[in-house]
Structure 1
Amino acid sequence: MSHALIADLGGTNARFAIVPIHQYQPQEVHVFACKDFDTFFDAANAYLDVCSIELDAIDAIVLAIAGPVNQEVICFTNNTWKFTKNEIQAHFGEDKAVALLNDYDALGHCLEILPQEDLVTIGEPEHIDSTAPSWVLGPGTGLGVACVVPQEGSANLVLPGEGGHADLSSNTDQEDYILTFLRKRHHRVSAERVLSGMGIENIYEALCAREGIDKRLTAPAIGEAYLSGNDPVAKETMAQFFTFFGRVVGNLVLAVESRGGVYITGGIIPRYLDGFKESGFREAMQEKGRMAGFVSPIPTFVVMSEYPGLMGCANYASYLVSKA
């Protein structure tokens, strides 16, 4: 049986898995700390040493990388790894199909094969047009954004971009205050400045300052305080976080009529799913004046799969092998 070696490579961790071609659930998943290996190739060899599939049975290698992949040399922000596609090809063999994907490209390729039970609908269920574009985005370390256009008989077309760095707007006095507070520090405030782990910290600090308190907590501490209910500023921080997120999603939908849906990934929203369901996210998304009726029918989902990036790599590997 033909297999693909798939990996989701970040600055901190590298997730490796194996999957039979035309299957999409990652198997034999191992997570390695990047700091424990001098190079990607050392980590890949360590995985192959414990994997039950021999290299001869692997026909494709698909890597999802947290960073740009359209450069000659792929470098990582938070570790010393670097390589070229030619080096990947040479290491695994010239007979293997090789692809390097941006991490949000990989997420875009997972949409068509996500099990329905891995999706949580936010708001009223709406009709999905499987032939129409979708957005996939998610706050985590940063804010990843990708537009996905379905293609008949071939892999989804994932349009590259840096939507997380678009300007952030405000609609309330509190939002005005937060942006003014952050503008003093950053001059320009992008969406990622509030929609990320760092963004949660920024919102909390700004709301404290509004009350005359000089205080900054880490994102995990704010999240813990939010879940325990013992810190009203943490509660308001997460409420504002969800509202900002809704505003950004609504802006994306205005830019591309994504009748295929909006798919929310990343590490933050699934962690606080109950609060997100009850938040002002959908109201903020739909608060688009005369265009509210344009935005309102767009369905939104939280992706609860453990390894959606690896699933996207698996799907892409199947296309790679099929056309080889």
Structure 2
Amino acid sequence: MSHALIADLGGTNARFALVRIHEFDPQEVSVLSCKDYENFFDAVAAYIDSCSVDIENISAVVLAIAGPVNQPVIRFSNNPWQFTRQEVESYFGENKAVALLNDFDAVGQCLEILTPKDMVVIGDNAEVDPKGAAWVIGAGTGLGVACVVPQNHGPNIVLPGEGGHVDLATCNELEDDILRFLRTRHKRVSAERVLSGMGLENIYEAMAFREGIELRLTAPEIGDALKSGTDPIAKAALEQFFVFLGRVIGDLVLSVESRGGVYIAGGIVPRYLNEIQESGFRNAMQEKGRMKDFVSPIPTFVVMSEYPGLMGCACYASHLLSKA
């Protein structure tokens, strides 16, 4: 049976896997640190050398990339790697079906195959319209966003973009202070400046400064502080992280009436499932003035699958070969 080589190439890690065509459970998953390899081709060569399938037995290659893919030279938003589509096709050979997806395009594709056990609902409403548009959003090294339009036949239509770089809005004095603090460092403050690993660090530093403390912790250090329960600023920073996430998601829902739900992926939120459930996330999402009743029914889910991007690549690979 033919295989697809699938990869989720992020700002920090490159996740590679194999999958049999028309199956969606990634096999032989390997997570490589991007900084350990000069370029993508060195990393993929290391993976192929270690896996059980030769390159000749790979029928399709689907890469999910953390950055725009409709450019002559594909560059990553938070990673120095770059390549062209032609270089990828040449590396794997002309007889291979190749697809390059934005990383959150891939997450959007996985909605087709997610099951209830792969998700946890946040809030009181879990009812979705299976034909309705949906949003996927996720904070990790950066902030990824994509809109998903389900299709009766063929792959989901995913409208990728760089929604993580929209302007950050604030709604109270605390948020104004955080934004003002970040403006001293960044002329323009985007949503990604607070909704990412770096963003959690930024929130912590801004809230510490508000208390007269000059201190910046790394995201892992903030995680350790949260576990110890001895740092009230860490707890407040995570709460504010979820509030900002709710505000951004509410704005997305106002932009596209997403009756298909909102699906939160990425590396950060699934680690803090209890905390987001107890946070002001949903209230912040719904605080849209006259449009509260419009936003409130939209369900939100945390995607708990370990590799949603790879699952989406696997799903897309099957569609890719079906039409070949």
How many angstroms apart in 2 are the aligned matches of 1:243 and 1:143?
Answer: 15
Shift of 1:215: 1.6
Which ranges of structure 2 fall in alignment gaps of 5 or more residues?
none
Correspondence for 1:41: 41
Q: Which moved more, 1:259-268 or 1:125-134?
A: 125-134
Normalising by structure 1, report the TM-score: 0.95
Q: AA paired with 1:293?
A: D
Are 1:239 and 2:239 counterparts? Answer: yes
Q: AA paired with 1:322?
A: S
How many angstroms apart in 1 are the aligned matches of 2:137 and 2:268?
Answer: 12
Q: AA paired with 2:212?
A: G
Superimposed CA distance per residue, residues 119-152 of structure 1 (whole angstroms, 9 cap, x where no aligned partner): 0110113311111110000111111111111122
Superposed counterparts of 1:166-315, under 5 Å:
166-315=166-315
* Compared CA separation, residues 188 and 55, structure 1 to 2 (3 A): closer
Correspondence for 2:31: 31
How many angstroms apart in 2 are the aligned matches of 1:248 and 1:36?
Answer: 34
How many angstroms apart in 1 are the aligned matches of 2:203 and 2:228?
Answer: 19
Shift of 1:167: 1.3
Q: Which moved more, 1:246-255 or 1:211-220?
A: 211-220
Given that 2:78 and 2:142 are in contact with CA atoms closer than 8 Å, whether structure 1 keeps it comes out as no
Q: Which moved more, 1:249-258 or 1:192-201?
A: 192-201
How many angstroms apart in 2 are the aligned matches of 1:238 and 1:178?
Answer: 13
How many angstroms apart in 2 are the aligned matches of 1:163 and 1:78?
Answer: 15
Given that 2:68 and 2:161 are in contact with CA atoms closer than 8 Å, whether structure 1 keeps it comes out as no
SS for the counterpart of 1:86 is helix
Correspondence for 1:320: 320
Superimposed CA distance per residue, residues 26-75 of structure 1 (whole angstroms, 9 cap, x where no aligned partner): 00111223344444233323322222223333211101111221122223
Q: AA paired with 2:88?
A: I
Q: AA paired with 2:321?
A: V
Normalising by structure 2, report the TM-score: 0.95
Correspondence for 1:13: 13
Correspondence for 1:83: 83
Q: AA paired with 1:252?
A: L
How many angstroms apart in 1 are the aligned matches of 2:89 and 2:291?
Answer: 49
Shift of 1:78: 5.7
Shift of 1:76: 4.0
Are 1:122 and 2:157 counterparts? Answer: no
Q: AA paired with 2:87?
A: E
Correspondence for 2:99: 99
* Compared CA separation, residues 57 and 148, structure 1 to 2 (3 A): same
Q: What's the C-alpha RMSD, in Å, of the aligned pairs?
A: 1.6
Q: AA paired with 1:121?
A: V
Q: Which moved more, 1:255-264 or 1:73-82?
A: 73-82
How many angstroms apart in 1 are the aligned matches of 2:114 and 2:211?
Answer: 44
SS for the counterpart of 1:168 is coil
Correspondence for 2:136: 136
Shift of 1:222: 1.6
* Compared CA separation, residues 196 and 42, structure 1 to 2 (3 A): closer
How many angstroms apart in 2 are the aligned matches of 1:312 and 1:83?
Answer: 22
Q: Which moved more, 1:161-170 or 1:293-302?
A: 161-170
Superimposed CA distance per residue, residues 196-235 of structure 1 (whole angstroms, 9 cap, x where no aligned partner): 1111111112211222222221122122212321111111
Q: Which moved more, 1:220-229 or 1:230-239?
A: 220-229
Aligned residues: 324
SS for the counterpart of 1:186 is coil
Superimposed CA distance per residue, residues 59-113 of structure 1 (whole angstroms, 9 cap, x where no aligned partner): 1110111122112222346655432212222222211110011111111111111
How many angstroms apart in 2 are the aligned matches of 1:201 and 1:81?
Answer: 25
Superimposed CA distance per residue, residues 239-272 of structure 1 (whole angstroms, 9 cap, x where no aligned partner): 1111111111111101101011100011111111
How many angstroms apart in 2 are the aligned matches of 1:257 and 1:76?
Answer: 30
Correspondence for 1:153: 153
